[in-house]
Amino acid sequence: MDMWKPFRTATNEKAPQAAILFDKFHVMRHLGEALDQVRKSEYARLTGRERRYIKGQKYTLLSRRENLSLDGRRALKLC
């Protein structure tokens, strides 16, 4: 189901025994937003060479390890 609060509330009221399962799209959207917040705050906190571990790594961090290029795998090892 969608993660919209009125949907969850109505489901809990009308079918309290039902298990609620959120769709992957919405879960991944929230995960991506959280990752962006952490990356931005860490980038702001760090200075100089330390910033290179974060800059340009969004898709590397979101990718499955087996789908990463050799450069992507190397970038993860730097951290």
pTM of whole model > 0.85?
A: no
Question: Which of 19, 26, 24 is CA-nearest to residue 4?
Answer: 26
Average pLDDT, the chain: 88
Instruction: Show the tokens assigned to 42.
Output: 């860490």
Residue 79 pLDDT: 58
- How far the first Cα of the chain sits from its last, in Å, is 36
Residue 2 pLDDT: 85
